[in-house]
Structures are given as C-alpha cells and as structure tokens.
C-alpha cells in the first residue's frame, strides 16, 4: 500500500520517453554484444580468423579480400563481411561485436567495482569522520591529482609486462582483469566524493540520530539508515560511471595499454583504423559509431534517471569529467 | 585569510609528497617482475639491465630506491633507455606546444560552455534547450581520439580546409601556428563544452531559484542586471574554479590523446609514444610532473575560490 | 476617507501542476491597505498568503502562474501590467522584506553594496553617494556603526542584524507600501520584538502602509491595525484587530486565536519532592566537537557547566534562544554525544562515558522526540518500521513488534493501518505523532522533547500538547521539554531552567520563573513575548 519513493521515481522516469528509448538502445547494444558468437556463425568466421589471401564474390566476379597494396574490402552489406574486412582480412562486423563484448564487459565490471569501493570509502569516511575521514580524503586527493587518462596509462604501462598480484588475486599481464582493476581504481574518487558529501549531509539529519537513540550500532545505522538514502545518489552516478569507464577503456586500448590485439576492443580497432583512414575509412568509422552510440545512450538514459530521482532540478555533475 | 593560505600551502606539500610516493609505488613496486627489466623496455641486453639497476638503486631498500628515483627524475638525470634522450629536456621541449593547445582549447570551451549553458538555462524546458542538452550529451560521448581522427581526415586531408595535423612553432609563423591549432583545439574543446554547458546550465537554474535572486527582482533591478550581477556572478564561481582545475589536468597530460591524433609533439604525445614502447622513464617523469602541476594548480584554485566566495574563508571544508 | 494605497479585489492565482489539474493557490482574495496602516494577512502554512504578496508585484515568475482579478496600487492596476511598469514600482514604491535574511541576501556581495544597488536602480546617484546613504540607513535601523557594517558580508552579521539590514534596504527609496513576508519567523523572540518595534516606528515616521504576512497571532496582536484571516486561498474573516480578537466571527479564526498559548494565566505547581530520575551535573560541551583543529574557539563552549535534574513524572522545561546550547544539552543528556566534562546519571547509574553495550539500559528508559517532523523519519522506510526499530533491535519478533506498533500508533491518535505508509504521505502533525509513538515503543520513563511544536501549524500544536499531557497522566512519563516558547512552557511545565550562552542562568518552579524572574536575561525573554491581545500591546519599544 502506498507509493514508495522508488515507485514514484520510476513513474517519473517512464514518462521521460527519450530517456527510456536510449536506455533500450543500450540494452539492444548489450544484447548484440552477447549474440556475437551467433553472428560469427552467420558470417562464417571468427573474430581473429585472418584471411589475407582470400577472395569473395562481388558484382558477378571475385575480388581480393585484401588487395595487393594492402587495402581491405569495404562493407558488403550481406552476411559475410557485412561491414567489410580489416587489413588482415578479418570480418569487421564480427570483430565489432566481439569488441563490444570486451568493451562493455570491462566498462560495466569496472563501474561496478568503482561503485562498491567508492560507496564503502565514502560511507565509512563520511560516517566516522575525524581521522578515518582525513586518511580517506588524503588518499582520494592523491588519486585525484592524476589526470584520468594519464593515471590509467601509467598503471597500464606499469602492469603491462608483469601483471599484478593483490593478495589471493593474480592478474596476468594484458588480461581483462588488469583493465578492469585500473579503470575501477582511477574512478573511485569521482564517485567517492559525492557519496561522502551526501553521507555528511545525511549524518546530520534527525532520523539518523533517532536510530542511534533507539540503540542502533554504527554499522547498523550505516546499512539501515544511510545506505537506502544514498541509493539515489549511487543510482544517478552509475550509468555515467559505466559511460566513462567505456570511454577510458577505449582510450587505453587506443594507446596500447588496454585490450591487447588480436583480441578486439572498440579502442584498439579505432587505433588500427586510424592508420588506414585514407584507404579504408570504414575501419575507424564503424567501431567509433558503435562506441558513441553506447556511450550516448548511457548518458541520455543517465540524465533521465537523474531527473527522475533528483528532485532538485540541477545537481551539478561530478561524474563525466573528461 | 592568511591562515587559510598557509593551511593550503602546508596541505599542498603533504599531497605532493604523497603523490611522489604513489607514483614511485605504481612504477617500481606494485607490478610483478623485475623493475630493472621493466625499465629497460622491450629488448634489453644484460649489461643495460645491470646499469639500470645501479642507477636507480633497485638492489637497495625501498626508502633508498624512492630517494634515487626522485633524484633521477627531479634532478633531470633520467634518460629513456629506448631513445637515449634526456627525459626532462624532451618534456621541456614539448611543453610550449601542450600549453598552446591547452590554452586555446580552454578559452574556446569556456566561452562556448558559458554561452550555451546560459542559453539553455534561459530557455529551460523548451525545444531549443532540449536540443542543446542533446548536443551537449553527444559532445561528452564522443571519444576525443576518434573525433580528432575523423575531423582531421575529412576536414584536413579530404577537403583541405585545415592542415592535416602537425604543429608550427609560434616563432616561425604566428599565422600558421594558429591555423594548425584550430582543429586540435576545437576537437579538445568539444568534449569540455558538452560538460561545461550542462554544468553552467544547472548552476544557473539552481541560482535563479534562490531567494536572493527574488530579492534582487523585488528591488526593481532590470532583468539584465539581475542576471549579470546576481545570477551569473554567483553561479559561475564554482565553474571558474573547475575551469582552472581542468586546464591544469589538460596541461598535465590530459591532452595525450588529442596530441597523438594531431601529431602535436607535445608532452602528452611524448608520454603516449613512450607507452607504446613500454618505455618507463618518460611515462614516470610525465606522470610525476603532471601530478605536481595539478596539485600546485589545485592550491592556487582553492585560494582563488576563497577570494571569490567569502563564505569559504571561514573555517575549513 | 482617503483612497486606499492598496486595493485588492478578487485576486486569484493558479499554478500549472507537474501532473494533474492546475492548482488554485489563491481563490478570490480582497483586502485594502491604507497609508500609515498595518494590515496583517494571517494563515497557516500553505494557505496562499505568500503567493498573494508575490503576485502583487509580479514576482511569481513569468509563465508559471495565472493571475486574475484586480490589485490597484495608488489607483494603478497591477494585475496584467507589463513587467516594465511593475519594475519601476518594485523597490521604489512597493518594497518587500522576506522571511530568511540569510538566503534573501546575496552571500558574496557586501551588505552596503546591495543596499546601494537598489538606490542606484531608482535614481541618479554615484557609487560613493549611494554607499554613504546605505551606511546612514544602517545606522537608522540600529545596525551600528553603519559605515563599518556596510562592508560586512551577510553571513558575518547576526540574524537580527541581517533582517534589519534587509529592512534598511527595503526602505532605501522611501516606499509608500511595505510588504513584509513573515519577517520575524526566523528570529529569536527577543530579536523579533525589536524588529517588530522597528517596523512600527518606521510606519510612524514615514507614513507608509504595511502589509504584514504572518502565521503568528502574537505578531498580529503586537503590531496590526486590521487583520485578514486566510485559509485555503480565501479570506474567511477581515476586520479591525480588536474586534477580530474579541469576537471572531468565523470558527476557523476562533480556533487559530484559541490555539495560541498565552503567557498570562497560572502555571503548574511543582510536584512534591521526588528523587531525581535524570541528573546532569556540570556538563561541558565544547564547540565544533566534530571538526579537527580548526573551529575550536578558546574559552567558549556550547554548554558550560550546566546542572539540571528531572524527577519521575514531572515536566522540566529548558528555555533559551537559538545558540543558547539547549539542543546540545538535550543531545548530551540522551547520550547522542559524549560531554567533555560533567556527569550524566539516570536512576542513579552513571552513563557519562558508557559505550554502546553499557548504554542499553539508558536507551530503554530515556528516549527523544525531535523538532523537525520532516527530518526525523527515514524517508525510505515505512513509518511502522521506523517505530519498530527499537523493538527489532532488542530481538522482539516481527509479529509481536507489528502488534505493538499498531497499539502505539493508536495511542498517539493515529490508526494502526498507518504503519504501512511512507513518511511523505503523512502531514507534519501526523509525522510528529509517529515520532512520539517511536519514543514510546520501549515504555520509557523519561522523554526528551526537543522543540516538538515549533515546526507544526498552530492548530496542530494544541493537539500534540494535549496528547503529551495525556500520556504523562496515564503513564507517569517525565519530560524534559526544550523550547523557546514561554507560553507553551507556562502551560505544561512544573519547573523551568533558563539557558543563555551555554550556561543555565536560572532554575526554579514555573511560578517563580514566570512571575518573578531573578536573572535579567529571563526578564528580557519574558518581556519580549508578543501580546496575546492587542490591548496588551506594549508601547512602542526602544
């Protein structure tokens, strides 16, 4: 009975048709990424299957998949080589979907990890205050001092050869785990700061004091009183975090410290594509468009989520700093 | 006020120290494997590795390693084992280029960001505002390296409107210098304009709903005066300080992608090329200097904020 | 009979809603204000009185509101007038003073500059000349020395000074009509008395007409010549202030007047000597207890050596103004913070530095009800769950807890079914009842009430007071009532303690304190309480 604050927000979100449409767009892209193996079946080759010397049927005759001077064939608009081939004769459309898998997986996993870490740090620092807060803030300030891409690059470079061992977790060099870990850590201050700020404000509210007067312990108060009221802030930041993580992953892969070729990611596909822009523009345009579509969908949807949850009309953004 | 400044300066030194320690940890301690091997790059010889170990002190205890590392980098001794060039000199050579790019972009994004943001706020809810919002979101969603590549290819190479990348030093030809910078600055600015216009818009909207704006109208001030002297004056304070921070971030290596795509040969590109070769000393140095620059600029911005907003001067954060 | 300064006829204001039909905030209001006359527009929150005032000079924002009807100022029609014309009137002929001077002044501009800005907007004046006039105005309203104060930023002035500065600003261009929207609501009672006196003096001096908007009948009794009572967007009664007080025609007006507790009348007799239940001895709490190195002001404490006790079944009132430390002392007593010095004992047991497990008995017997009904309930929890928290923490099973919650809700005048509601679905008064139910959950022996009425509408206050009184008679609960409202204190307290600057300056039975205060601050506090009837109005105070 009654209308919970969540249900009211959901109703408001549903009325924002544009946000919903873009949210569906992102879901569709994610589904397409999941269906990558299916498409590989249809197209007849895997993402890493090279074909430098092959030929395909076109205009009644046969043309080289990769011409003698290294120019790959453009979009064929049919099952095989739907979007053309790359310099090694691999199917661009298939690689695009497998790349989507990697990029989206890394983006979502990193954002999830960031959210968990940032919520923990922000909650504990804001609630306990004093030295706990001082330590947390200093740590955040230090990470904050590095520009995002540079820190990602620094970490990526450092970990590129030997990998990373944190306690029981062993991440091999060049693995997806490294990308996820690097991106997650880099973005923790971006999320922890607003969360901490929110905790500081909530902490002064009387219902928190009331819970303590009723005998609730510190952790109990954090979980029962603060966390549910933090949820809107977290939910608003989450899509933006995923968008940023995807962009950072692409940037790192573009620079060579993310997903290592031959495994595809939108970033390294754009990197390879920019070298052949003159002769084969489709190589850079295709992954770029898909990347923009995914990120834009998240941003528009995230905007709609914020409008639905954040009663105050213009909470300043903290999250998509370039 | 003096106490405030003194406090911030002390904080700055502490953070600088912490930053240097973190950088050191990132490059020499956290990763698995032999740091000397890592520094030596892709295909070192045994003598090279030994020499590196001696120079950087990898045999010694951590504290000594840290001191040696700082000596190497801050003392201008470090060289890239891949190119054999002195790292500090390379950074200094690239600095004016990065500064030109950063400043040009920063001015562009500030002007357009404020203009579009105010426009969006004044027309809030109407079609023009929704379109502006959409374009702002699109701007933030474009990966700068892709946008740069596409623009440079089509506008530069295909249609010849702009040069196809590269940088011309100011001393050689001011006109050419500016001409070459148009596309890179615009590309870098697009990303920030999207963010800033939304920030300005939301700040302005928030401020317009404040009580003191209602008081200003009740005083009989003209709408223009209300907008300039009260709304903008208050809502832009955080924007200006953020601008300072972002400018610092761009100079400190945030332009790495734009520089690479347009072949500007600035500090960022230097780092990017070193990354590609897994050449550690330059990346280490750029990271350290970059972070130092940002911390120093942060402190300046904090002090500027206190000057602009008198409420900040009372008590800490 | 001169032409009225302000002549409002059938004014109506309608707002478009986010979803659903448009909302009519004002439905046909008619009133007049003559030169030199103070007309009070009274009503509870949400009745539309502020909207009426803002609509007159076009301050409701373009496009959001539809205004119909007529409002003539000096013969000129305001409704539908172009903004350009209205702007010429605003500040120059019709000036406004708002409720909260801290948010109503631009925080980053010096006070003098803000006053000068208004002066220069309505007449030729150089910057220096305008600033000099601003300083003179500040002197006039008692913000002295004007020249120095005009260089201050709003947050550097006290609440009372800020409001005086706003009044100075409003009067800077010699307006003929002053609209004051709840000008003293955010102020302490002593400051309120001064500001009301100031408005009265200025009305005498300049002959301006004043439209005074308020929810407080005490303010009306102090200052108004005529009264218009507003409810749900309509005026239900209008007339001279004495007539309305003596013989209110409308039952709603009568309810509003009756609901204001009066300071006259006998206080309660103290209870016979009983052993103290709660003992606070020489409690010290330092300022900025949470911040680190910055913020400690040497020598000044939020609570300084406070000693107080409450016996079983009695009501002790702790009175003082904002900043006096009474809320801090209340929180120390509830052990929501640890005092820096002194001793807290309950039923003979020392709880001063007890940790969580050691505090359990205290938490059972001592509870607290908070001031703000909107902030004291977790917005993301159903009301029943908030009430049951104490029980669940103690291990009471879900079914038993549910039944107990139902009992408690009924005891405080709600229905058991309310347990499933969300806080935002309840009114302020209902939420406060939930807060009380929550405090009663564990059968406490003492309940600390921290300004339990100040955020509630006037008519609701009486009901809550009755409820609290009934609970005390039924269960023998002791109360430590924190309040700034002496009239409420007279009605319910057995004993009174007066707090000022962190210190308890006087304690005694209610009769002693209210009739013959020993401390000069207490006397000042009593003198500042607004009249209950216009004839008790004090002569123009200095």
3-state secondary structure string across B177-228: HHHHHHHHHHHHHHHHHHHHHHHHHHHHHHHHCCHHHHHHHHCCCCHHHHHH
User: For residue C99, is it within any domain?
Assistant: no
pLDDT classification of C275: cutoffs 50, 70, 90:
confident
A313 contact residues in B (CB cutoff 8 A): 202, 205-206, 209
pLDDT recorded at residue A6: 87
Q: Is residue C128 part of a domain?
A: yes
Residues C460 and C517 grouped into a single domain = yes
- In this structure, the dihedral spanned by the alpha carbons of residues A257, A263, A265 and A267, taken in order and rounded to 10 degrees, is 40
Q: Are C191 and C88 in the same domain? A: yes
Residues B232 and B196 in one domain: yes
How much is the CA Rg of chain C, to the nearest whole Å? 25
Cα(C245)–Cα(C159) distance, integer angstroms: 31
C-alpha–C-alpha distance, residues C522 and B111, integer Å = 59
- Residues on chain A touching C363 (C-beta within 8 angstroms): 213-215
Nearest to B218 among C91, C100, C291 (CB): C91
| C190 phi and psi angles, rounded to 5 deg | -70, -40
Q: Based on the fold, state whether residues B56 and B197 are members of the same structural domain.
A: no
Same domain, C367 and C465: yes
Closest by Cβ to A147, choosing from B31, B209, B249: B249
- pLDDT of C294 reads 42
Nearest to C345 by CA among C281, C413, C265: C281
Please, which residues 149-188 of chain A have a Cβ atom closer than 8 Å to chain B?
Answer: 149-151, 153-165, 173
Chain B hits for C152, Cβ within 8 Å = none
Tell me: do B102 and B40 sit in the same domain. Answer: no
In a 3-state reduction of DSSP, which class is residue B159?
coil
Q: Picking from B292-306, C71-85, C303-317, which range would have the lowest pLDDT averaged per residue? A: B292-306
| CB spacing of B234 vs C107 below 8 angstroms | yes
Confidence of residue C2 (pLDDT cuts 50, 70, 90): low
In angstroms, what separates the C-alpha of B121 from chain C's closest C-alpha? 14
pLDDT for position C525: 86
Choose, out of A12, A127, A214, A313, the residue to mutate when testing the contact with C (most C CBs < 10 Å): A214
**B267 and B125 share one domain:** yes
Cβ(C10)–Cβ(C79) under 8 Å? no
Could B311 and C108 be called an inter-chain contact, meaning their C-beta atoms sit closer than 8 Å? yes
Which ranges of chain B does DSSP label H, i.e. alpha helix?
2-24, 35-40, 46-56, 62-74, 87-122, 127-141, 144-151, 174-208, 211-218, 223-225, 233-249, 256-262, 267-276, 280-308
Res. C235: pLDDT tops 90: yes
- d(CA B15, nearest CA chain A) in Å: 6
Q: Which CATH number do you get for residue B245?
A: 1.10.3720.10
Residues of A in contact with C375 (CB under 8 A): 205-207
Q: Which residues of B touch C73 (CB under 8 A)?
A: none
Within this chain, do residues C339 and C460 fall inside the same structural domain, yes or no? yes
Same domain, C368 and C469: yes
pLDDT in tens, C472-487: 999 999 999 998 888 8
Q: What 3-state class would DSSP assign to A297?
A: helix
Do B294 and B166 share a structural domain?
A: yes
CATH, residue C252: 3.40.50.300
Same-domain status, C109 and C77: no
Q: Which residues of B touch C87 (CB under 8 A)?
A: 220-222
**A2 touching C (Cβ < 8 Å):** yes
Q: Between C8 and A76, whose confidence is greater?
A: C8
> What pLDDT is stored for residue B282 in this prediction?
84
Check whether residue B35 and residue B101 sit in a common domain: no
State residue C94's pLDDT score.
Answer: 93
8 Å CB contact of A161 and B37: yes
Tell me, yes or no, whether B48 and B123 share the same domain.
Answer: no
In percent, the amount of chain A with pLDDT more than 90 equals: 32
Instruction: Flag whether pLDDT at B214 surpasses 70.
Output: yes
Residue B313 lies in a domain: no
Task: Examine the domain organization and report whether C178 and C161 are in the same domain.
Answer: no
- In the structure, what pLDDT confidence band is assigned to residue A311 with cuts at 50, 70 and 90? low
Nearest-angstrom CA–CA distance, C97 and C169 = 9
Identify all chain C residues contacting A209, using CB atoms and an 8 Å cutoff: 331, 336, 368, 370
Query: Percentage of chain C with pLDDT > 70?
Result: 96
CA distance A30 to C34: 71
Reported confidence tier of residue A122, pLDDT bands at 50, 70, 90: very high
Judgement on whether residues C135 and C10 belong to the same structural domain of the protein:
no
pLDDT band for position A250 (cuts 50, 70, 90): very high
Of the two residues C258 and C438, the one the predictor is more confident about is C438
Instruction: Name which residue leads in pLDDT, A88 or A289.
Output: A289
Identify whether C453 is part of a domain: yes
Say if C220 falls within a structural domain.
yes
Separation of alpha carbons A93 and A111, rounded Å? 26
Residues in chain B with CB shorter than 8 Å from the CB of A165 are 32
In terms of domains, do B174 and B283 share one? Answer: yes
Q: How many domains does chain B have?
A: 2
CA nearest B238: which of B303, B191, B315, B308? Answer: B308
Same domain for C202 and C163: no
Please name the residue of chain B whose CA is at the shortest distance from the CA of residue A149. B254
For the residues A97-101, what does the mean pLDDT come to? 93
Contact list in C for residue B230 (CB cut-off 8 A) is 106
User: Which of C65, C103, C108, C162 has the most B C-beta neighbours within 10 Å, making it the best mutation to test the interface with B?
Assistant: C108
3-state secondary structure of A283: helix
Mean pLDDT for B129-133 is 90
- For residue C349, give both structure tokens: 């047991």
List CB contacts (< 8 A) between A278 and chain B.
Answer: 153, 157
Q: Which of A129, A130, A214 sits opposite C363 (nearest CB)?
A: A214
Q: Is A211 an 8 Å CB contact of chain C? A: yes
Reference A47, options A249, A261, A283, A263; nearest CA is: A263
Choose one of B75, B107, B134: the last residue of a domain.
B75
Residue of chain C minimizing CA distance to A212: C336
C397 within a domain of the structure (yes/no): no
In a domain? residue B195? yes
Last residue of a domain, one of C133, C149, C172: C172
| Distant-in-sequence, close-in-space partners of B307: CB < 8 Å, separation ≥ 6 | none
Residues in chain C: 542
The whole-number average pLDDT for the span B278-285 is 80
More confident residue, B30 or C85: C85
Instruction: Give the pLDDT mean for B12-16.
Output: 84
The C-alpha R_g of chain B, in whole angstroms, comes to 23
Do C87 and C168 sit in the same domain of this protein? Answer: no
Nearest residue on chain A to C382, judged by CA atoms? Answer: A4
Q: In this structure, what token pair is assigned to residue A170?
A: 């062993």
User: Do B179 and B112 share a structural domain?
Assistant: yes
DSSP state of C538: P
CA distance C115 to chain B (A): 9
Contact C312, C366 (CB under 8 A): no
The verdict on B212 touching C (C-beta cutoff 8 Å) is yes
As to burial, measured by CB atoms within 10 angstroms (0-12 exposed, 13-18 middle, 19+ buried), residue A130 is exposed
Q: Taking residues B171-191, what's their average pLDDT? A: 87
B8–chain C Cβ distance below 8 A for any pair: no
Reply yes or no on whether the pLDDT at B109 is more than 90.
yes
**Is the model's pLDDT at C540 over the cut of 50?**
no
Q: What's the CA gap between A159 and A172, in Å, rounded?
A: 9
Q: Per the domain annotation, does C388 fall within a domain? A: no
Same domain, C485 and C536: yes
| Cβ <8 Å between B138 and A296 | yes
Note whether A129 contacts C: Cβ–Cβ < 8 A.
yes
B236 min Cα distance to partner chain A (Å): 12
CB contact under 8 A, B283 and A157: yes
For residue B128, being part of any structural domain is answered with: yes
For the ranges A149-163, A252-266, C16-30, the lowest mean pLDDT is seen at A149-163
Q: Find the mean pLDDT for residues C105-124.
A: 92
Q: Give the model's pLDDT for residue A2.
A: 66
Specify whether C462 is located in the same domain as C534: yes
Q: Is A164 within 8 Å of B30 when comparing Cβ atoms?
A: yes
> Of C92, C105, C108, which has the smallest distance from its Cβ to B220's Cβ?
C92
Domains of chain C: total? 3
Q: Are residues B223 and B280 in the same domain?
A: yes
Contact residues, chain C, for B212 at CB < 8 Å: 103-107
Residue of A127, A137, A208, A210 to mutate for C, most C C-beta atoms under 10 A: A210
b/e code C485-496 from CB counts within 10 Å (16+ = b): bbbbbbbbbbbb
The angle, 0 to 180 degrees and rounded to 10, between the axes of the packed helices B233-249 and B174-208 is 140
Which chain C residues contact residue B223 at CB under 8 A? 83
Residue C273 has pLDDT above 70, yes or no: yes
Range of the domain at B232: 89-308
Instruction: Please indicate whether, in this complex, the C-beta atoms of C155 and B310 are within 8 angstroms of each other.
Output: yes
C41 belongs to a structural domain: yes
Q: Which ipTM value was assigned to this complex?
A: 0.84
Helix, strand, coil tally for chain A in percent (to 5): 65, 5, 30
Which structural domain, as residue segments, surrounds residue C72? 6-93+174-259
* Residue ending a domain, choose from B75, B105, B140: B75
Q: List CB contacts (< 8 A) between A231 and chain C.
A: 380
Question: Chain B residue closest to C292 (CA)?
Answer: B316
In angstroms, what separates the C-alpha of A31 from chain B's closest C-alpha? 20
The pLDDT of B125-154, averaged and rounded, is 90
Contact: C360, A215; criterion CB under 8 Å: yes
The alpha-carbon gap from A226 to the nearest alpha carbon of chain C, in Å, equals 9
Give the residue from B41, B75, B109 where a domain finishes. Answer: B75
pLDDT score recorded for residue C485: 84
Residue for token digits 């059968």?
C443
The token pair that represents C524 in the structure block: 């000042």
Q: Which residue of B has its CA nearest to C175?
A: B219
Euclidean distance between CA atoms B22 and B29, whole angstroms: 10
Q: Return the half-sphere exposure (C-beta side, CA atoms, 13 A cut-off) of residue C214.
A: 25
Same domain, B45 and B99: no
Residue A93 CA to its chain's centroid (Å): 21
- Where residue C510 falls among pLDDT bands split at 50, 70, 90? confident
Res. A39: pLDDT tops 60: yes
Among the listed ranges A103-107, A312-316, B133-137, B205-209, which one has the minimum average pLDDT value? A312-316
The mean of the pLDDT values for chain C is: 87
Residues across chain A: 322
* Within a domain: C391: no
CB contact at 8 A, B272 and B255 = no
Per-residue pLDDT at C274: 81
Q: Which chains touch A (3 or more CB pairs under 8 A)?
A: B, C
Q: What confidence category does residue A139 fall into, taking pLDDT thresholds of 50, 70 and 90?
A: confident
Enter the tokens of residue A322.
């370039």
Give yes or no: residues B164 and B33 share one domain: no
> What is the model's pLDDT at position C295?
42
Q: Mean pLDDT score of chain A, rounded to an integer? A: 85
Quick check: A254 contacting B, CB < 8 Å?
yes
Residues C333-343 have a mean pLDDT of 90
């Amino acid at each position: 009975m009654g209308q919970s604050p969540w249900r009211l927000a959901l109703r408001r979100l549903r009325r924002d048709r544009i946000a919903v449409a873009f949210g569906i767009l992102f879901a569709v892209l994610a589904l397409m990424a999941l269906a990558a193996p299916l498409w590989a079946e249809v197209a007849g080759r895997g993402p890493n299957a090279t074909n430098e010397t092959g030929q395909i049927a076109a205009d009644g005759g046969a043309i080289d998949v990769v011409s003698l001077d290294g120019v790959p064939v453009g979009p064929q608009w049919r099952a095989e080589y739907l979007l053309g081939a790359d310099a090694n004769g691999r199917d661009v459309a298939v690689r695009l979907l497998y790349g989507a898998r990697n990029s989206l997986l890394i983006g979502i996993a990193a954002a999830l990890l960031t959210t968990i870490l940032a919520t923990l740090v922000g909650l504990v620092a804001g609630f306990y205050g004093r030295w706990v807060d001082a330590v947390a803030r200093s740590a955040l300030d230090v990470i904050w001092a590095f520009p995002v891409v540079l820190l990602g690059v620094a970490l990526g470079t450092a970990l590129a050869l030997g990998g990373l061992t944190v306690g029981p977790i062993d991440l091999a060099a060049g693995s997806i785990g490294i990308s996820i870990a690097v991106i997650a850590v880099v973005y923790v201050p971006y999320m922890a700061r607003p969360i901490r700020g929110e905790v500081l404000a909530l902490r002064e509210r009387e219902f928190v004091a009331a819970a303590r007067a009723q005998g609730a312990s510190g952790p109990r108060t954090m979980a029962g009183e603060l966390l549910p009221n933090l949820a809107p802030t977290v939910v608003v930041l989450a899509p933006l975090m995923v968008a940023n993580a995807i962009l950072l992953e692409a940037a790192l892969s573009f620079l060579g410290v993310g997903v290592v070729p031959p495994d595809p990611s939108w970033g390294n596909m754009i990197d390879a594509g920019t070298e052949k822009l003159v002769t084969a523009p489709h190589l850079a345009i295709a992954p770029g468009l898909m990347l923009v579509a995914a990120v834009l969908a998240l941003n528009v949807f995230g905007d709609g989520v914020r409008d639905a949850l954040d009663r105050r009309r213009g909470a300043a953004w903290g999250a998509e700093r370039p | 006020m003096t106490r405030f400044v003194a406090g911030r300066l002390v904080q700055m030194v502490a953070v600088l120290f912490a930053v240097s320690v973190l950088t050191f940890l990132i490059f020499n301690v956290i990763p698995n494997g032999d740091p000397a091997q890592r520094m030596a790059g892709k295909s070192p010889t045994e003598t090279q590795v030994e020499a590196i170990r001696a120079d950087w002190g990898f045999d010694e205890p951590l504290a000594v390693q840290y001191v040696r590392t700082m000596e190497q980098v801050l003392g201008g001794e470090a060289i890239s084992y891949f190119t054999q060039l002195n790292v500090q000199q390379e950074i200094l050579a690239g600095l004016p280029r990065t500064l030109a790019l950063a400043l040009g972009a920063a001015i562009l994004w500030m002007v357009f960001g404020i203009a579009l943001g105010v426009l969006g706020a004044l027309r809030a809810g109407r079609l023009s505002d929704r379109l502006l919002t959409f374009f702002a979101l699109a701007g933030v969603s474009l990966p700068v390296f892709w946008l740069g590549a596409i623009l440079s290819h089509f506008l530069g190479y295909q249609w010849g409107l702009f040069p196809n990348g590269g940088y011309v030093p100011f001393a050689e030809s001011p006109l050419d210098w500016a001409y070459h910078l148009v596309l890179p600055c615009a590309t870098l600015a697009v990303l920030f304009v999207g963010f800033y216009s939304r920030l300005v818009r939301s700040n302005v909207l928030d401020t317009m709903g404040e009580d003191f704006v209602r008081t200003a109208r009740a005083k009989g001030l003209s709408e223009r005066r209300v907008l300039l002297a009260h709304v903008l004056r208050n809502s832009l304070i955080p924007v200006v300080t953020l601008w300072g921070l972002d400018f610092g971030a761009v100079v400190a290596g945030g332009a790495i992608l734009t520089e690479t795509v347009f072949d500007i040969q600035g500090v960022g590109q230097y780092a990017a090329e070193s990354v590609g070769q897994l050449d550690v000393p330059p990346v280490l140095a750029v990271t350290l200097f970059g972070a130092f620059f940002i911390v120093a600029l942060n402190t300046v911005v904090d002090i500027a904020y206190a000057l602009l907003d008198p409420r900040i001067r009372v008590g800490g954060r | 009979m001169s032409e009225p300064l302000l002549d409002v006829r059938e004014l109506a204001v309608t707002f478009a809603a986010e979803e659903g039909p448009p909302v009519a905030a004002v439905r046909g209001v008619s009133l007049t204000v003559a030169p030199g006359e103070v007309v009070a527009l009274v009503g509870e929150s949400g009745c539309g009185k502020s909207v009426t005032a803002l609509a007159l000079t076009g301050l409701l924002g373009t496009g959001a509101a539809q205004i119909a009807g007529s409002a003539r100022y000096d013969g000129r029609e305001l409704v539908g007038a172009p903004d350009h014309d209205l702007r010429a009137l605003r500040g120059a002929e019709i000036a406004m003073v708002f409720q909260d001077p801290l948010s109503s002044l631009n925080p980053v501009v010096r006070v003098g500059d803000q006053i000068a800005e208004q002066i220069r907007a309505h007449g030729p004046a150089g910057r220096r000349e305008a600033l000099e006039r601003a300083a003179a105005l500040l002197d006039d309203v008692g913000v002295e020395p004007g020249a120095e104060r005009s260089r201050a930023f709003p947050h550097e002035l006290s609440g009372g000074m800020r409001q005086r500065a706003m009044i100075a600003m409003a009067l800077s261009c010699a307006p003929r009509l002053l609209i004051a929207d709840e000008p003293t609501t955010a102020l302490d009672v002593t400051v309120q008395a001064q500001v009301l006196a100031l408005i009265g003096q200025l009305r005498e001096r300049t002959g301006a007409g004043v439209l005074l908007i308020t929810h407080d009948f005490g303010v009306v009794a102090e200052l108004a010549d005529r009264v218009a009572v507003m409810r749900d967007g309509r005026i239900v009664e209008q007339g001279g202030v004495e007539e309305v007080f003596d013989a209110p025609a409308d039952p709603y007006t009568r309810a509003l007047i009756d609901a204001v507790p009066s300071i006259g009348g006998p206080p309660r007799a103290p209870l016979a000597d009983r052993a103290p239940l709660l003992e606070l001895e020489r409690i010290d709490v330092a300022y900025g207890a949470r911040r680190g190195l910055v913020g400690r002001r040497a020598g000044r404490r939020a609570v300084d050596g406070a000693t107080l006790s409450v016996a079983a079944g009695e009501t002790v009132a702790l009175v003082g103004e904002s900043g006096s430390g009474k809320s801090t002392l209340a929180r120390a007593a509830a052990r929501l913070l640890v005092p820096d010095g002194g001793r807290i004992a309950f039923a003979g047991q020392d709880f001063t530095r007890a940790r969580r497990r050691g505090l359990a008995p205290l938490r059972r017997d001592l509870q607290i009800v908070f001031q703000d009904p909107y902030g004291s309930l977790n917005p993301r929890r159903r009301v029943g769950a908030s009430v049951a928290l104490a029980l669940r923490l103690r291990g009471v099973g879900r079914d038993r807890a549910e039944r107990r919650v139902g009992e408690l809700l009924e005891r405080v005048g709600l229905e058991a079914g309310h347990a499933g509601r969300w806080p935002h679905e309840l009114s302020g008064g209902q939420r406060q009842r939930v807060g009380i139910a929550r405090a009663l959950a564990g059968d406490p022996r003492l309940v600390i009430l921290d300004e339990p009425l100040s955020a509630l509408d006037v008519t609701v206050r009486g009901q809550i007071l009755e409820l609290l009184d009934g609970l005390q008679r039924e269960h023998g609960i002791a109360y430590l009532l924190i309040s700034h409202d002496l009239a409420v204190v007279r009605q319910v307290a057995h004993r009174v303690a007066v707090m000022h600057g962190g210190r308890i300056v006087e304690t005694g039975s209610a009769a002693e304190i209210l009739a013959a205060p020993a401390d000069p601050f207490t006397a000042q506090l009593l003198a500042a309480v607004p009249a209950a009837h216009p004839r008790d109005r004090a002569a123009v105070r200095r």
